[in-house]
């Protein structure tokens, strides 16, 4: 792209755009990085510079950019129709995709309700849960509140924030939120109970059971990100935790709502994180990778028991009065259907399971870096928590913006990543080659060293290694 065009776009960006999760006073000081195109695991800016997409364009890209099958699916659907409403009508891509989603979802989920993004898919699940108890089992109690995990993140709409647990994102909006019941998450590296896994026997489940036992008559559902609390910093749950949560919800008649927006579509090595422990939630929200990273589309999957509670005569008003203008958009559904076909043809999940072992091996040496406190990995979801002191696990003050500085350094090395506070996140497209994974990890390693080790310290460590040799 010509210099004049690049400069004009940069000026217009600073003049007209308001970027999400961005302090705009800082943003306008520098020339923005403008991505013009993509291919496979790479993104290209308006200067033609190439970057590895280390966070799958915010956790959505699955099979890489410009995948031929996905491009073709959109072009073919465009030759028919781009959109028609799902209110009172239907369309072939929405029907076919719903059938395929049920075929790959945890066994027992039977119905698909479309929406636009992960946050709205969670909103749908919350509203369904409350209405379900009103219509199905009013004897169970006035069940209209939810249990959620501290540090959880389920989106930025009001309902999704109400069951979230990250104060930075929701504290200012507290007057708008409905009350929920928060319990401590299984954050083993910084255990709130000051215990150690596995000798703790997952004691963090005891407060969950206590809440359900004492207040189950008012609790409609428990909302959880299965296996990984993504926005919390890729905080991984110990094996068996999800199974126990499912058992507790069943015992105390509380609906289990699984937010698989970030963990779904192969990120953890299975199609859905719930598959690792054979758990079927009552409601499951999906989004992000649903279309392979091409278009905004989400869905809430439910069991037949949930669905049938909404059936009745017109005048009974049992209808689920919820919907969106673009619900079941044919373009989004067509490319999502093509993405599921690629999963099958390319044996994507088998390749991911092999790749996650390679990724684990590549990451292992980073555990020896002086300021890497913990490396958390679940499939292709990786979080490296940076600390000032490894022995005490003392965190860096957020004002030092260590994670941000690592991301900026990685950009200069041809890798685009986005941190979560002091946690460096790596979430590559599932289509990455071993060589590309190696380049990503190498760039992360060198960037962490550059930011956390002053040059003099690095020289001293290098000299020490030479002397020992």
pLDDT in tens, 215-248: 999 999 999 999 999 999 999 999 999 999 999 9
What pLDDT, on a 0 to 100 scale, did the predictor assign at position 286?
98
- In CATH, what is the architecture of 70-345? 3-Layer(aba) Sandwich (3.40)
Tens of pLDDT, residues 16-39: 999 999 999 999 998 899 999 999
* Percent of the chain at pLDDT exceeding 70: 97
State the pLDDT confidence band at 160, using cuts at 50, 70 and 90.
Answer: very high
The residue among 4 and 63 whose pLDDT is bigger is 63
Confidence of residue 139 (pLDDT cuts 50, 70, 90): confident
What residues does CATH 3.90.1150.10 cover in the chain? 33-63+348-463
Q: How confident is the model at residue 454 (pLDDT cuts 50, 70, 90)?
A: confident
How far is the C-alpha of 287 from the C-alpha of 263, rounded, in Å? Answer: 10
Flag whether pLDDT at 205 surpasses 90.
yes
456-466: per-residue pLDDT in tens? 555 555 555 55
- List pLDDT tens digits, range 389-445: 999 999 999 999 999 999 999 999 999 999 999 999 999 999 999 999 999 999 999
Q: Which CATH class is domain 33-63+348-463?
A: alpha beta
Q: Tokens at residue 396, please?
A: 């860096």
> Structure pTM?
0.95
User: What phi and psi values does residue 221 have, to the nearest 5 degrees?
Assistant: -165, 165
Separation between Cα atoms, residue 241 and residue 237, nearest integer Å: 6
What confidence tens digit (pLDDT) does each residue in 266-317 have?
999 999 999 999 999 999 999 999 999 999 999 999 999 999 999 999 999 9
pLDDT in tens, 67-77: 999 999 999 99
Enumerate the CATH 3.40.640.10 domain ranges in the chain, comma separated: 70-345
Q: Cα–Cα distance between 349 and 467 in angstroms, integer?
A: 46
Q: Which residues contact 137 (CB under 8 A, 6 or more apart)?
A: 253
What confidence tier does 469 reach under pLDDT thresholds 50, 70, 90? very low
C-alpha dihedral, 68 to 69 to 75 to 81, nearest 10° = -160
């Amino acid at each position: 792209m010509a210099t004049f065009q690049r400069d004009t776009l940069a000026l217009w960006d600073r003049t007209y755009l308001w970027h999400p999760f961005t302090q705009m006073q800082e943003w306008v000081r520098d020339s923005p990085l403008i991505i013009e195109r993509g291919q496979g695991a790479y993104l290209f800016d308006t200067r033609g510079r190439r970057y590895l997409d280390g966070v799958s364009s915010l956790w959505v890209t699955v099979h890489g950019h410009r995948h031929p099958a996905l491009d073709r699916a959109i072009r073919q659907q465009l030759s028919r129709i781009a959109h028609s409403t799902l209110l009172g009508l239907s369309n072939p891509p929405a029907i076919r995709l719903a059938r395929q989603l049920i075929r790959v979802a945890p066994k027992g989920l039977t119905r698909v309700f479309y929406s636009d993004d992960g946050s709205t898919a969670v909103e749908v699940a919350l509203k369904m849960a409350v209405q379900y108890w009103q219509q199905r089992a009013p004897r169970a109690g006035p069940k209209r509140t939810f249990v959620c995990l501290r540090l959880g993140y389920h989106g930025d709409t009001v309902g999704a924030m109400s069951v979230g647990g990250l104060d930075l994102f929701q504290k200012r909006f507290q007057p708008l939120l409905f009350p929920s019941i928060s319990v401590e998450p299984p954050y083993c590296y910084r255990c709130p109970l000051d215990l150690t896994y596995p000798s703790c026997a997952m004691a963090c489940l005891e407060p969950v059971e206590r809440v359900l036992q004492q207040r189950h008559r008012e609790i409609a559902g428990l909302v959880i990100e299965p296996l990984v609390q993504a926005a919390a910093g890729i905080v991984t749950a110990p094996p068996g935790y999800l199974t126990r949560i499912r058992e507790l919800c069943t015992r105390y008649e509380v609906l289990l709502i699984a937010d698989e927006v970030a963990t779904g579509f192969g990120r953890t090595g299975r199609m859905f994180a719930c598959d690792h422990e054979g758990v079927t939630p009552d409601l499951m929200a999906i989004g992000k990778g649903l279309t392979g990273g091409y278009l905004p589309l989400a869905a809430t999957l439910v069991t037949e028991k949930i669905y049938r509670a909404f059936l009745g005569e017109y005048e009974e008003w049992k209808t689920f009065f919820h919907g969106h203008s673009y619900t079941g958009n044919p373009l989004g559904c067509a490319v999502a259907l093509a993405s599921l076909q690629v999963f099958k043809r390319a044996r994507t999940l088998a390749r991911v399971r092999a790749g996650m072992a390679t990724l684990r091996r590549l990451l292992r040496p980073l555990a020896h870096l002086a300021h890497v406190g913990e490396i958390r990995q679940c499939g292709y979801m990786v979080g490296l928590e940076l600390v000032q002191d490894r022995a005490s696990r003392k965190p860096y003050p957020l004002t030092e913006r260590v994670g941000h500085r690592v991301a900026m350094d990685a950009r200069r090395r041809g890798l685009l990543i986005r941190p979560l506070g002091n946690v460096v996140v790596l979430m590559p497209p599932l289509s990455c080659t071993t060589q590309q994974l190696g380049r990503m990890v190498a760039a992360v390693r060198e960037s962490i060293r550059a930011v956390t080790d002053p040059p003099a310290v690095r020289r001293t460590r290098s000299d020490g290694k030479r002397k020992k040799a």
